[in-house]
Amino acid sequence: MDLLSLAKNVTRRTGKPVTDLLTATRILGTPRMPLLLALSKGFVEPVYRAAFLSSAAGSGILRRLAERPCDPGSLAEALQIGERDTPRLRTWLEMGVTLGDLGRSDGRYRLRSRAAKALAQTRYDTVAAALEEVLRFHVPVLLDGPRMLREGRRLSLADQDGTVIARSSRVVRPLVERAVARTLDTSRAVRLLEVGCGSGVHVRYAARLNPRLSALAVDLQPDVADQAARNVAEWGLTDRVEVRQGDLRTLDVQPQFDLVTLHNNIYYFPHDERVSALRRARALLAPGGMLLLTTSCRSGNSGLEALNLWFEYADFGGPLPHPDELARQLETAGFRDVRADRLLPGAPFHAFTGTRAGVPA
């Protein structure tokens, strides 16, 4: 038994009066015990719960349990887990019971905590993905930062799961939509290029706002582009939206776009390569065309600082931008009428716009 669990058990119950009491006093009397107890309740259990809930949501277990209570056998079958490993799945489910997120009666498991019930709902998928992003990507870089530096290791795109990120990025969707609604010309046909489209939700929003809009949506990561293409087909937009795997830096298309958008991805470019990436975006605009770039900026908020840390440790990206600095980079890249707008008072999320000089055709 590890020391944390021992400490907790001892505080819950002492069995045989005298000897147990003496042992308990000895254990609880050690100077490290208050710290251990505080760590257990304040840090360890929340981490266990977050990891358990994230995995239960991501694997689809929460959704299945929301439909009806299940035994480990039927869950194993649904998750394509071999019969040999069903007892191990049971042990994992029991951990959920211990943490208070699952309940069990007659050998069947059900959802118990409010968090488990909420994360089981499709409408909270973005929250489940954000939790997964924190655990899978932010926690490891916090845990391994100094060791990575000592070993000269960097994170690569393969250390990310693009489809999880595409889902979690929807957290800022209302802010991106606000920026799109402010910028998009709805009075005429518009040709949009969306760079790093993720799930494609922002292209869908633009297409809904302007029924004469047509778009090319590209994403660097093949699996992300494939998912976006499936989404676009499901939304019935294939006649207006083309999705391709592609990299802004090498994209071979005519400079024909009225609007180029980059949402939540400027930090995928190293700091000193941003001007050339922005120049490239500008070169794809038709004369008079506009760039709209939305991004979280440095703020001191712990979630964003963890995101910033991840990209600082990546071999392909760079830190979250400071608004003034990014505005200057847009100007250096040749954009005119550059603006940086905070989209919500107090929120470190900004929209940057700039135009390519010239008269629209």
Ligand X SMILES: C[S@@+](CC[C@H](N)C(=O)[O-])C[C@H]1O[C@@H](n2cnc3c(N)ncnc32)[C@H](O)[C@@H]1O
Contact criterion met (CB below 8 Å) for 36 and 6:
no
Region of residue 45 (phi > 0: left; psi between -120 and 50: alpha; otherwise: beta): alpha
Rule CB under 6 A: is residue 273 a binding residue for ligand X?
no
Rule CB under 6 A: is residue 278 a binding residue for ligand X?
no
Rule CB under 6 A: is residue 249 a binding residue for ligand X?
yes
Residue at 71: amino acid letter? D
CB 352, min distance to ligand X, A: 14
Rule CB under 6 A: is residue 166 a binding residue for ligand X?
yes
Rule CB under 6 A: is residue 220 a binding residue for ligand X?
yes
Interface with ligand X (CB under 6 A), residue from 57, 116, 165, 260: 165
Q: Residue 141: name the closest of 162, 161, 155 by CA.
A: 155
Place of tokens 């939305």: 294
Rule CB under 6 A: is residue 198 a binding residue for ligand X?
yes
Report 23-82 residues binding ligand X (CB under 6 A).
Answer: none
Rule CB under 6 A: is residue 177 a binding residue for ligand X?
no
Residue span binding ligand X (CB under 6 A) among the ranges 53-61, 140-148, 205-213, 218-226 = 218-226
CB atoms within 10 A of CB 232: 23
C-alpha pair distances (Å), 154 with each of 89, 158, 261, 310, 343:
34, 11, 28, 10, 33
Rule CB under 6 A: is residue 307 a binding residue for ligand X?
no
Rule CB under 6 A: is residue 195 a binding residue for ligand X?
yes
Query: What's the rounded Cα separation, in Å, for the pair 330 and 282?
Result: 9
CB 203, min distance to ligand X, A: 9
Rule CB under 6 A: is residue 351 a binding residue for ligand X?
no
Rule CB under 6 A: is residue 268 a binding residue for ligand X?
yes
Name the DSSP letter for residue 59: T
Query: What's the rounded Cα separation, in Å, for the pair 59 and 53?
Result: 10
CB 85, min distance to ligand X, A: 33
Residue 98's contacts (CB-CB under 8 Å, 6 or more residues apart) are none
Q: With contacts defined by CB under 6 A, how many residues of the chain interact with ligand X?
A: 23
Residues that bind ligand X (CB under 6 A): 162, 165-166, 169-170, 195-199, 202, 218-221, 224, 247-249, 263-265, 268
